[in-house]
Every structure is written in structure tokens, then in C-alpha cells.
């Protein structure tokens, strides 16, 4: 379902979430923040691996749980993958160089984005992953800014939704 910059869908299994990420990576413009929320094991990292595929990243993408920030070359662009799970304060955010991370990223994928609420750039797509039954995940995408709305429109046209 899509309406004005909002898209609701469900994925069944890891590979469908990766496919969705790939479509998102292909659809996002030159600069985009993808802000991911969802419980442990909801599939945030899986989605980012797909985004990396869509951007043409050839390096193996791993979760930045302990490094906080991983960067990958993607053609002429840079994918910056951040995991804020262990960030508890504004000071923690600055200690990982958050302002520079935001300035320097082309595509910025942020897990546990709620830890940086108020400090997330636009254009941005907020992605909420909710655990469903078994391997089902319900995914809500919400656009902030014109480029993000365009990306979600492109994604809908590609028929990214699964059964």
C-alpha cells in the first residue's frame, strides 16, 4: 500500500527483506538517510545489506555493532552504515563524530535511529520493521523531504511489496 510518501508491506524471510533493501538502494537519490527502527533481530542489518547491493557495494557488509560506523565505496558514492544501539546520550553521539558522519555520507543507513531522534538529516526514509509470525516482518516506510518521496514512489512502481 502506498499513499503520499508512505509505504506498508510485509516480507517473508531474510531474502525478501534483502530484496526490498536492494530496491531501496537502487531507488534512493544521490543523498539519502535511511533511518531504521525495530527490535533486536527485526532485520535492520539484512535490509542494509540489500541497500548495499542496490548501490553496487562489492565489499562484504557486516554489522557495525562494535565499530559504530562502517563505510563502503559504492561507485562514486559512499554508503555509511551506523549502529547506534549502544548510544545513550548526545555526548555519546558526538563521541562517534556524528556531525561529520552526517556531513560526509552520501547514503547513510542508521540502525537504532531512535537514539539520534532530532539529529537525523533530510531527505530521509524512516523504516520501521516489526516482527510478525515466524519469518514475517511488517515494514513501514515513511518519507521526509521531496527526494525521499520520490524514492518511495520509485520503489512502489517497482512493485517491491511481497505477498
Ligand X SMILES: Nc1ncnc2c1ncn2[C@@H]1O[C@H](COP(=O)(O)OP(=O)(O)OP(=O)(O)O)[C@@H](O)[C@H]1O
Q: Which residues bind Mg ion (CB under 5 A)?
A: 44-45, 63, 111
Assess 64 for contact with ligand X (CB under 6 A).
no
Q: Where do runs of H (alpha helix) occur along the chain? A: 14-27, 44-55, 90-95, 98-104, 146-157
How far lies 3's CA from each of 7, 8, 141, in Å? 7, 9, 11
Assess 38 for contact with ligand X (CB under 6 A).
yes
Q: Which of 22, 44, 81, 124 binds ligand X (CB under 6 A)?
A: 44
- Cell 509505504 locates to 7
Stretch touching ligand X by CB under 6 A, among 44-52, 54-62, 90-98, 120-128: 44-52
- Contact status, residue 138 vs residue 42, Cβ threshold 8 Å: no
List of residues contacting ligand X (CB under 6 A) = 11-14, 16-17, 38, 40-46, 63, 111, 135, 137
Amino acid at each position: 500500500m502506498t499513499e503520499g510518501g508512505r509505504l506498508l508491506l510485509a516480507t517473508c524471510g531474510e531474502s525478501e527483506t534483502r530484496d526490498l533493501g536492494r530496491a531501496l538502494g537502487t531507488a534512493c537519490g544521490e543523498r539519502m538517510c535511511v533511518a531504521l527502527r525495530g527490535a533486536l533481530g527485526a532485520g535492520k542489518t539484512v535490509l542494509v545489506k540489500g541497500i548495499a547491493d542496490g548501490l553496487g557495494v562489492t565489499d562484504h557488509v557486516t554489522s557495525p555493532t562494535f565499530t559504530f560506523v562502517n563505510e563502503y565505496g559504492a561507485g562514486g558514492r559512499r554508503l555509511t552504515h551506523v549502529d547506534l544501539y549502544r548510544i545513550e546520550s548526545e555526548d555519546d553521539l558526538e563521541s562517534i563524530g556524528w556531525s561529520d558522519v552526517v556531513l560526509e555520507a552520501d547514503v547513510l543507513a542508521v540502525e537504532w535511529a531512535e537514539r539520534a531522534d532530532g539529529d537525523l538529516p533530510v531527505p530521509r526514509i524512516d523504516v520501521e520493521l516489526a516482527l510478525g509470525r515466524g519469518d514475517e516482518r511488517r515494514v513501514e516506510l515513511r518519507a521526509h523531504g521531496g527526494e525521499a518521496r520520490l524514492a518511495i514512489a520509485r520503489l512502489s512502481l517497482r512493485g517491491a511489496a511481497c505477498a
